[in-house]
Chains A and B, each alone.
Chain A
């Protein structure tokens, strides 16, 4: 019961931060609520930007994925992100900051509208960005439900846990806006940086040392592949280096880039980002792998048995049986089960709070959606001009409540694992939107029609992947169903872990075709759709 109390204490603290931010807010204008008045200092900027990227996916999804797939998880997402995300912040984030400050932009769509001299195409981009952001918020709700259920030993069911976490996040975002969100994120990141390593050490001691656990995992034919990457193809591994591109295209990251007081604050963030990744992901992945040896923990033993049953050839399982076994084998709560099994009570309590902190990092996404709605729709279509700035901020706050409620309802209906949803929908979609940013900032000849083609393609591709995922049940591990072939060549296949295009994750062709469309359509339309010289001068002065 003590861990549950500490987690609720943590929830009370973040709620108070929201109230404190509300009280210290100097004005009620939109820039102060949505961007903290562009005034964040270097340390809060680093911790908060990093925390914004660390969601339930990073902690629960990572250890759950490592539990099932082994050490490959770190190479797939952590080490590639440690390089690609800071490079994007360096090349794109700094320029967004400068343009935002100079032109008073608060959202990426405002910049796109200005850069390509368009109106409704900006609205289309808003719709696609908003639709892709919702799955990310769902991850948080699912994570909240999973964590509270695990920490209270099932006393708080998944549905209620998700509702509690959603309500707390809604409250402090509603009250504190970007300032409250940034402070909470900074606290969350500090907590997890501190306790990730402690968790690994304490659980290692509890298990009698990692050395012995590793030797046992290597010795067993069932678990030794988890310590190598023999179960994934190099193409699949390469595909994952495209996923972190999504980070800079996420509206909450773009918007967050505008909150720094000075562009030099990016320097520390860029250099230290990989180190933060290491401190959070290495323990998460390592513990996820080691959990395969934690058969003394009954909940983990149940997961291993379900996985073994799934892997049994010719077991005569129906699709329903498989779905149930997949849910039983899911490792999303495995790190909490380890803590429960091996950590002393006081540490279990603190670690529970730290995991909860990471799970709740969807606050920035919710705030970003609200910022986008009020700036790109409400203000753009004359709402602010008619009703005033006070009503604009109030609209943003109401939107925060609505979007969280919708995400909660969806989270109760979607049974897929956290990791699958994140990679198949939101991440791939946003990675395919990166050509918008690159073209806007670096290519004079890009046009609004190129931007529209890129956006529509991304939307269509995400819908296509979603349809394939939902209409074709996953085959048993190791086999594939051909969805579309040309002659003997299987072009699109459905595997146990998702949809593939010639062995690559969909994110690769989605992003490449997206970039190609931007180039081809822009070149075809530049004679009549190229922005005027005055606009281009503001973007390409140097």
Chain B
């Protein structure tokens, strides 16, 4: 699980470079959020989940001693 948590973080770093929504404003999510902005807002939420995985499965517990 430790490796998986690290892999998810690395994958997210790659997914940050979302060239697929580069030139598109539409669709407007919820009617007003350009898709490129929505993607990065969702990316931020996904980052929180990936960091939870990291903290849960790869925590440096030796530092607590």
Contact = CB atoms under 8 A, between A and B. Distances in A.
A271 B57 CA distance: 13
Nearest to B6: A87
A69 to B, nearest CB: 12
Contacts of B16: 75, 79-80, 83, 241
Instruction: Identify whether the interface residues of A are mostly helix, strand, loop, or mixed.
Output: helix
Contacts of A78: 40, 44
Interface string B8-31: 010011001111011111101001
B47 A74 contact: no
Interface stretch (A114-122, A165-173, A228-236, A456-464): A228-236
A227 B55 contact: no
A207 B62 CA distance: 54
Contacts of A275: 44-45, 48
Interface residues of A, number: 50
Interface stretch (A16-24, A91-99, A305-313, A361-369): A91-99
B22 A274 contact: no
Contacts of B59: 267
A72 B40 CA distance: 10
A8 interface: no
Given A71-B36, A229-B23, A237-B17, A86 B43 contact: no
Contacts of A210: 31-32
Interface string B23-65: 1111010011110110011011101101110110001101110
Interface residues of B, number: 37
A210 B9 CA distance: 33
A211 interface: yes
B47 A274 contact: yes
Contacts of B54: 87, 90, 270
B20 to A, nearest CB: 11
Interface stretch (A277-285, A378-386, A400-408, A512-520): A277-285
A224 B23 CA distance: 10
A90 B51 contact: yes
A263 interface: yes
Interface of A: 71-72, 74-75, 78-80, 82-84, 86-87, 90, 94-95, 97-98, 204, 209-211, 213-214, 218, 224, 227-230, 234, 237-238, 241, 262-264, 267, 270-275, 277-278, 282, 285-286, 289, 542
16 contacts: A74-B40, A74-B41, A75-B16, A82-B43, A83-B51, A87-B51, A211-B31, A211-B32, A230-B22, A237-B17, A241-B16, A262-B64, A274-B47, A274-B51, A277-B44, A282-B37
